[in-house]
Every structure is written in C-alpha cells, then in structure tokens.
Amino acid sequence: MKASIYLSLLFPLITSLNWKLAYAQPSRPQNYALFFACEDYQDERLAHLQNPVKNAKEIALELETAYGFQTEVVVNPTLKAIEEKLKEYKHKFAQGEHTPAGQLMVYFSGHGGEERENKNGYFLPVDADPDRLYSTAVLYSYWRPFINNINCEHILVAIDACFSGTFDPGWYNRARTFERPQEWTDVQRMVEAHKKYKTRLFLTSATDVETPDKSKFAKKFLEGLRGHGGKDGILTYSELLALLDTASPRPHNGEFGDDEAGSNFLFVSNTRPPEGEEPEPPVTQLSEEENMWQLARRQNKLLVYRAYLANYPQGKYSAEAHEAINRLSSLDDLDDMIFVAGGSFAMGCSSGDCEKDEQPLRQVAVDSFWIGIHEVTFETYDAFCDSTQREKPDDKGWGRGSLPAINVSWYDAVEYCNWLSKEHGYREVYVINKEKPDAGNQNSLDGKKWIVQIDTVADGYRLPTEAEWEYAARSRGQEMLYAGTSSPDDLAHYANFCDSNCSRKVKGKNDGFAHTAPAGSLQPNALGLYDMSGNVYEWCWDWYADSEYAHNDRVANPLGPPSGAYRVGRGGSWRNKPEEVRTASRYYYTPSFTYFNFGFRLAKNR
C-alpha cells in the first residue's frame, strides 16, 4: 500500500514469565455501567418479564460495591429514552464529564427480535411494536456504530435478550462459535496492554435463538463478579467468558467497531492482596507463542500477524503468518486504500444553497470499510483492459498514467471491481447477468440493462455506496462543505474544479489544472483522501432517487432504492462550479453512458 496505512506493532515484546516482579495494581480511571432493563411491555403480544430489572440492579450493585463502578439503571425505557440516554453518555465522554480513559459497560436486558430477511437485529424497548421493529426498536446495526464512536477507550456491550447474537456485525454469515481469547498470564503486562489497546467487545446471552426470562446469562455474569477475579483481584473478559460458556443457551461474543488486537475489559476488585504478597501464577496450558498465535488467528488482522512475527520470526507458525500477511496485504497491489472507521452522521445538506434532492437531513450509520486514497487511474484501468482484451477508453488527449480514468461507464466500473477481486484472490462482490434485461432498470436509453446484484458480505472490491462516499468525503461525517474545507476561499487547494482556467470560468480561483489533475496533485481531506471534491465524478453503487432522503431516515448501511433509471455520481468534476463539488451535492447518469468527467473510486469491506 506504499506506506498508505500506518500500523505500529503495538504488542509488547514477550519474554519469559517473571513472577518476582513487584505486584502492580492497575490505576483505576473511572468506570461506568449503564443498564437498560425492560419488563412492562405496552404491546400485549410481548410477554411481561419478571427478571430484567432485578438482574440489572443486582449486577449494578455488585459493580458499585466490589469494583467501584459508577452505575445507572434505566427501568422500562421507551425507545426515545434509550436514544436520549446513549446520546447523553456520548456527550459526557466527549466533554470530559466522564473519563475517556475509563471503561463503559452498556447492558441491555429484555425482549429481542430479528428480521432475518433484512439481516436486522433489535433490542425491544417497552413501547416496541412487533410489526414495526425498524422504527420502534433499537436497531443494532444503527446503534452499534454510535456506541463505537463514544469517546471512551474501553467499551463492553452485554445483551441479555432473545436473538441477541444479532448484535454481531457478521451474525448472518458467521459460524456460531463462543471463543475465549487468550490473554497475558503476567498481571503487570496484562494491565499495561489494557492501557494501550482500544476495546470494543460484546457479550450476548444467545446467538439467534430465544432465551428464558429467568436468565442463566445474568446468573453466570453475577457469579463471575462475585468471584472478585481470584487472588490477583482482576476479573478479565476472558475469565468472564469461561463462566458464561457454561450457560444455556450458549452465549455469543466477539469484537466490533474499532476494537484493537490485544484489547481487554477488566473488572478490578476493591480487594487488594496483602502488601508484598505476590500473586500465584495462573496455570496455562499454552505457551506464550501459542497464546499469541491463537490471538492472531482470532483477530485475523495484519497488525497481529506482524506482531507474532516480530516476536517469533522463526516460530512454529511463521510460514502461516507470512501467508496470512501476503493475503491480507494484497491491497498493496491496488496502490493505496485507507481504512475508514464506521459511525453515524447526518447525511445531506443542512444550510446554504441546498438542492431539493439533498434534503431533508437523514441520520445514517455505516460500518467500517476501506476506500481508495485516489480515484482509479489510467495506469491501473489500462491493465484491466489489457487483461480482459477490451478497448481502452479515450483520454481526450490529456494523457494517461496517473490521471484518473475517464469515459468509464458504471458497468465498466463494476466489471473492473470483479476483475481486481479475482486478481487478488478475493470473493467477487457483483453477480452480473448480461443475458436478460434488468426489469428494475427504468432507463430506455441504457443499451445494456445488465442485471447486477451485490453480495454485501463478499471481501472483494466494489463501488462505495452513496452514504459511504459522503461519510468519507466529510472525514467521517463532519460538517464539511467541501472535501477538506468549508471555506470557498481555500477550495482551489483541495479540489480541481471549474475555475479561472476553465471554459465556465470562476474568477479569482485557480487550482492549476484546465482538465483532469494527476492523482495526489492537491491537498487531501482529513482522512487522507484526494479529489473527493472535483477532478472527476465518481460512480456509486446506488440507484438515484430525488426523494430518497425523505423516505429513508435513520438507516444503517443504506444501499439506495431497489430500482431506478440512473446510477449516482458524486463529488463533481474539473468542469463543475464550486456549488457542484460540495460533499452533499448529488448527480446521476445513465449506467451505460461514458463521459470525459466520469470515473470511479474503489471501496472494500473491512
């Protein structure tokens, strides 16, 4: 990736265990626990529950008295109450009223639900309507990114509800396993690692099945807390999992959002060993190398495989680690991409000269994804043309190489994505049928009308969705008028648009380019993405609808309308005025058409 992704090997160098180290108690920044307990459901189709409030209060009391947590139990909350309370906690961490270096546990107890056909999972507040879960219940795929973005280093989400495993970002295509991650056996190292790595972990009382009112999950959770973490005074996430694993139905666990390899959630007991007494070393069945390798396999991330090799260059699993790194590093062949952590934001135009199709503002959440630092250039697109023996697009005499590929149709772009996925050993995202016309394509001018279906869980390359594109252009959803700046006076530093050297002149502005600009010629936005405003329009996955925002508010990972006449183009181009290169500006074009100001940028699932 040509130094585009900056990863530090954060794992401490593992040495032999030394139990003569002085006993080190972790510093205890403030810890918080927020409980939502629902029993008295308003809809008669939802059975009254007898235990959620009792369970929540018992766990909260144990956390307060034995572990020094600051707790809050919200009894029988409505959807609005849950939303407002989560926003309140986010605000308190953002403003420093709650300690960002501390820990936050969010615990839900009550009814749960799922919509398997839509791949949605829910926690049900007391005012939930079983027929309208999407608008009356806590949608995990929407609130998971919200919780991830709370300014707290260590967050644990625990859900005691039916179908609670649907909180898992990949619940619908993942084997149902209950993994116990390996942890440091040295207390001092474990505590130091806890300070370094961001935690985003979850525990759920089940996968995608129903659970009883009298919760064994809550019972085992409480047993773990009352054990006070053994003689070392610390109950770790892994130790808690070991207890929960004995519950029935079998619980589920994992990580979400910005969780980092080596993360942990610690319950540090108020009880301390006598001064000078060293803790007994725990019995471990695995060597430290085995522990680290299992962690690498569980996380399946470049960071952890590289950490393993840094500590064990000639280790037992070094060949497998190199193979995994080669597989995960094949993004390097693409040139460069940047990882964008998911989150929620207000999509659209809020002020100024808004167009009708940019309003009203709608709340959108997107999962984490990768996106190209640059638009796809002629250099890489021409390689695709050579490989597939297709005619290369006209460059208008402006040159090729590092200039963005132009005169590329939407169909060309999705075929390029599939080709590159196959080249790099990834699963193709698009299923393309050229044999019969797409009944959902309402454009009489589209001479192809191919049926193109998307596999949303494939790991190959793809076009960004319109929501992902705007989220990335605005540097993870910030209120930015253009990509990189909100100042019209600074726009020429960030965007190649129609200024004083363009036929549609804008006086007093000059970005230095009469047509397209080579990749990386101007300044990037805060994420390090170039040309998100201007240069060439960028194809997105979505069909275009001018009323899309009005009809689809509060959505997670929107894919746009199921049918339409045009596909969306975003970002404006070298021949567009400043108002047309705004981050909120939308455009559309016939999928089979090509034009000298249309190109594309790649995206990829995490």
Residue range 404-458, pLDDT digits in tens: 999 999 999 999 999 998 888 788 999 999 999 999 999 999 999 999 999 988 8
Residue 269: the pLDDT is 84
Residue with tokens 């594309």: 600
Pairing of strands 362-366, 555-556: parallel
Residue range 366-410, pLDDT digits in tens: 998 899 999 999 999 999 999 999 999 999 999 999 999 999 999
Mean pLDDT for 322-331 is 66
Q: Determine the residue type at 514.
A: A
Of 196, 102, 193, 208, residue with least CA distance to 159: 208
Confidence check: pLDDT of 467 > 90:
yes
Confidence check: pLDDT of 249 > 80:
no
User: Span 339-605: which CATH code?
Assistant: 3.90.1580.10
Q: Determine the residue type at 385.
A: C
Where are the chain's structural domains? 31-275, 284-332, 339-605
- Tokens at 486, concatenated: 């909100």
Helix or strand (DSSP H, E) at 195: helix 187-196
Residue 400: the pLDDT is 95
Confidence check: pLDDT of 5 > 50:
no
Q: Environment class of residue 226 by beta-carbon count within 10 Å: exposed (0-12), middle (13-18) or buried (19+)?
A: exposed
Helix or strand (DSSP H, E) at 556: strand 555-556
Confidence check: pLDDT of 504 > 80:
no
Residue 508: the pLDDT is 56
Please give the mean pLDDT across all residues of the chain. Answer: 82
Asked whether 564 and 543 are in contact (CB, 8 A), the reply is yes
Residue by residue, DSSP assigns 213-277 as SS-HHHHHHHHHHHTTTTTTTEEEHHHHHHHHTTSSS--EEEE-TT--TT---EEE-S--PPTTP
Residue 11: the pLDDT is 31
Please tell me the distance from the alpha carbon of residue 560 to that of residue 558, in angstroms, as a whole number. Answer: 6
Q: Please state the φ and ψ torsions of residue 268, each to the nearest 5 degrees.
A: -95, 115
Mean pLDDT for 318-342 is 70
Write down the pTM of the prediction. Answer: 0.53
Query: What percent of the chain is predicted at pLDDT more than 90?
Result: 50
Reported CATH class of domain 31-275: alpha beta
Residue by residue, DSSP assigns 345-394 as EEES--SSS--GGG-S-EEEEE--EEEESSPPBHHHHHHHHHHHT-PPPP
Confidence check: pLDDT of 180 > 90:
no
- CA angle at 384 for the pair 383 and 388, rounded to the nearest 5°: 120
Confidence check: pLDDT of 124 > 70:
yes
Residue 17: the pLDDT is 25
Of 395, 393, 397, 396, residue with least CA distance to 413: 393
Spatial neighbors of 429 by CB under 8 A, at least 6 apart, are 417, 418, 421, 454, 455, 458, 460, 461, 462
Confidence check: pLDDT of 15 > 50:
no
Please give the distance of CA 393 from its chain centroid, rounded to a whole number: 35
Confidence check: pLDDT of 83 > 60:
yes
Pairing of strands 103-109, 154-160: parallel
